[in-house]
Chain A
Amino acid sequence: MQKPKVHIDKDKVVIHIRNLVKSFGDLHVLRGIDLDLYNRENLVVLGRSGTGKSVLIKIISGLLKPDSGLVNVLGEEVPLLNTRDLDKLRLKIGFSFQNSALYDSMTIRKNLEFPLVRNLRNLTRKEINRSVEQVLDAVGLLHTINQMPAELSGGQRKRVGIARTLILRPEIMLYDEPTAGLDPITCIDINNLINEVQQRYNTSSIIITHDLACAKQTGDRIVMLLDGQFKRQGSFEEVFDTDDERVKTFYDYNFLNQ
């Protein structure tokens, strides 16, 4: 399925990163990342596993601190924020984790309620229920509302995870390997959901993946992370129109695997 056209507002930058560096001891993971995410854009970050893709979005959401560099999200300097302001900013960022990170001990309903009741304390029970049902319906899983996460399939868990982040109406979505570990048909469903979210909720997104089908289907723009830096960027065709052996290997390997 072709990606529907979305109007991207290039005058408004929602995430602005300059010369971001991050190491763990001797392991130099990010070595000078520059990135601008435009309003309403789906940006795909491609890279092999272990290249630091997750580290990048964890820095954006303040879960990890960078060693140096500028990380500006919605006008806020993330590494410099105190806990309170960081929490305020986090309400505007939805984070979809690689393995969904649903709370095992809670029902789907409680999972979805969690960010709501913890952050908007003056909501009535009725308002909470309505929000939960609405957002769960948006991902097509209203019937699972009273089930436990363990009873759901991988694709369903992914959808619930995305629903849980949508409940606070974020302006930015960060997807960590949204299609990893899913069968090809479920992958297509998730990719469609990502595009739907972009349109319905007017989100700007960073989608991290090593799955080229996902990149092609969801990305308005693609960057490729190699050796801790963004080496190639542009449309899907532009990124892979190169003689760089590693980029070509990445491409070949992906389609051999399908």
Chain B
Amino acid sequence: MNAGKSPVDNEEADKPVLTRRLDNMFFTLYDVSNFVVRFFKEAFSPPIEFKETVRQCYQVGYRSLGLITLTGFITGMVFTKQSRPSLEDFGATSWLPSLISIAIVRALAPLVTALIAAGKVGSNIGAELGSMRVTEQIDAMEVSATNPFKFLVVTRVLATTFTIPILAMYTGFVGLMGSYLNVHQNEETSLATFFEGAFESISFLDLFSSLIKAILFGFTIGMVGCYQGYNSSKGTEGVGRAANAAVVIAMFLIFIEETIVVQIVAALR
């Protein structure tokens, strides 16, 4: 009957296996991988929350569209403007469209989109699920016989994974338009000539690897935001921490993934 404290138990529990830090790190890794495995299990088992997923896709697009349009356009324009002088030295400004499009399609579009989405969408997911956890809304869902993981996590991760590649394509397009504006002002190139130059130098591998990157980034943003929010600690400061961690960790992972994919693509080229 007496489930009092046993001194032996306490000592064992207090002693770290490695160092406390490493122990915590491995515990978190284990926890995260469980979360990811659970995502795949629940994403592919019926019933599918189709309506809620569509609603989340709309949310992702709606939240980031304005900022992405602005950033994409300015990135394209400024990048072109800054690249011009070095090409002018060689009298090679006609290469601008192909140079810019390579930069935009291969690197800038997925990266700019992902970073902005991490800031706008990732933090929002972290804060939203965090406050649902803290105010017991997630428990309330569970006791009304709705699987909250499926309804909240699976739908959001699917939404970011699916929507961010589309947004990245859009960013690429807007970026090229920004670039065209600058080229047109200086060289009076027509839109058709500009896009001819732009697409000439882009290979299927470029498009494909960018798409893969964007999918990866989208998955990461959704997953990190959901993990942080869903496991948010009690109290209002837990919500803030979840939102903040969602952005910082997602951005960090995005750069790591970018580096890895670039290495792989370089090896394939």
Contact = CB atoms under 8 A, between A and B. Distances in A.
Are A and B co-members of a single complex?
Answer: yes
Contacts of A95: 139-140, 143
B146 interface: yes
Interface stretch (A86-94, A126-134, A179-187, A244-252): A86-94
Contacts of A105: 128
Given A101-B135, A101-B136, A101-B139, A119 B4 contact: no
B137 A31 contact: no
Question: Most A CB atoms within 10 A — which of B5, B9, B139?
Answer: B139
A28 B4 contact: yes
Nearest to A115: B144
A21 B3 CA distance: 8
A203 interface: no
B143 A90 contact: yes
A98 B135 CA distance: 9
Query: Among the interface residues B131, B143, B146, which one has the most CB atoms of the partner chain A within 10 A?
Result: B143
Interface residues of A, number: 35
B70 to A, nearest CB: 27
A26 B3 contact: no
B137 to A, nearest CB: 5
B13 interface: yes
B145 A119 contact: yes
Interface in A62-106: 62-63, 83, 87-88, 90-91, 93, 95, 97-99, 101-105
Contact of A19 (B1, B9, B128, B136): B1
Nearest to B10: A26
A234 interface: no
B200 interface: no
A48 to B, nearest CB: 18
A25 interface: yes
Interface in A149-195: 164-165, 168
A118 B145 contact: yes
A23 interface: yes
A62 B136 CA distance: 14
A63 B142 contact: yes
A91 B145 contact: yes
Given A87-B145, A90-B143, A114-B144, A28 B131 contact: no
Contacts of A114: 141, 144, 146
A104 B4 contact: no
Nearest to B6: A26
Interface of A: 19, 21, 23, 25-26, 28, 31-32, 58, 61-63, 83, 87-88, 90-91, 93, 95, 97-99, 101-105, 114-115, 118-119, 164-165, 168, 228
Give the top 5 A-B pairs by smallest Cβ distance, nearest first. A87-B145, A101-B140, A115-B144, A101-B136, A95-B143
7 contacts: A23-B3, A28-B3, A88-B145, A90-B144, A97-B136, A118-B144, A118-B146
